[in-house]
Amino acid sequence: MGFLDDLKRQADALKAKTTIDHAALARNTALADVACKTALSYFIKLAPELNVLRPKSPARFTLDRRNAFDALQLTEFRVDSRRKPLRREEVFDHVVLHWRLVSGQPVEIVKDFLTDIEKLESRLAQSGAQVDKEAVRDPESGKFQGMRYRFVADFLGNARLTPLHDNGRVLIQLQNLDGFESVSFELPGFEVGNARMDELARWLAGQPHSFLQDAQGLRRVEA
């Protein structure tokens, strides 16, 4: 066997590996995209029902010791999705279910310590509330005395699914379901079906759920 034959053997092996890699990528892409298609279809059906039912959250949403909100109503559910090109195909970029957590209660908070200001602003940023803030100053000296925050205690939540096409997985990110916190984890694409989405619907409806069962790389970050 000559050198040319050796090169041909190496080239054939590389071609076979490339074919296998491309096939694996195609399978993984399909798995992740089907998961997002399932979620989108489910969300489109779920949102109108929840907009009628307007479930109350069993969670407490705490800004500070004096300002905590219970039984917030979940309203204004809406669905969004985006697509993108990938390897000459059009695939999902993300699928999101948005909602509002409503109390209608006007709130005014004044903080004078830096640590309290930072903690409150972190929670307000996580909450999605529309906040008017202003510095409080001594009327004579102009010396800074603290910060004043005015807003209506209506907050935002969402559930976002982002397909990880190369490995056939889905990144799931949740905002403000069990208080002011972010939850993120991954699931294999084949795990994201109607049964899994039913568990998310139970969570949104304030019922016991197992949506986080077998979650991989689970992170919960409180504001």
Same domain, 137 and 161: no
Token digits for 112? 């004078």
Instruction: Mark whether 110 and 198 lie in a shared domain.
Output: no
Q: Are 172 and 218 within one domain?
A: yes
Note the pLDDT tens digit of each residue in 127-175.
999 999 999 998 888 899 999 999 999 999 999 999 999 999 999 999 9
pTM for the full predicted model: 0.88
pLDDT digits (tens, 9 = 90+) for 206-218: 999 999 999 999 9
If asked whether residues 206 and 138 sit together in one domain, one would say no
State the residue range of the domain holding 51. Answer: 3-61+71-105+154-222
Kindly state whether residues 112 and 92 are assigned to the same domain. no
Q: Is 38 found in the same domain as 116? A: no
Q: How many CB atoms are located within 10 Å of the residue 185 CB?
A: 18
Q: Are residues 125 and 196 in the same domain?
A: no
The closest alpha carbon to 128, from 167, 103, 101, belongs to: 101
DSSP code of residue 153: S
Domain count, the chain: 2
Q: Based on the domain organization, do 100 and 116 belong to the same domain? A: no
In-domain check, residue 66: no
